[in-house]
Amino acid sequence: MATRRVCRECHRVLDSPDQQTCPACGSSSLTEDWAGYVVISHPETSEIASEMQVTEPGRYALKVR
């Protein structure tokens, strides 16, 4: 299984290892060097989403290098 890639800009975990750009923000700055994982389903009521400045539901990395 390939390591999942994460967007360095918005911390979104990408669905496919073949993706070259982030579908959420359009950035092509992707990395496999990340740690922690959070699923945000209701960003409008989530304190974690607020702290991370996330406005869309999805899977996000907590630490991106």
Whole-angstrom Cα Rg for the chain: 11
How far, in Å, CA of 52 to CA of 20, rounded?
23
Longest dimension (CA), the chain: 34
Annotated binding site for Zn(2+): 7, 10, 22, 25
The gap from C-alpha 58 to its chain's centroid, in whole angstroms, comes to 7
Annotated binding site: 7, 10, 22, 25
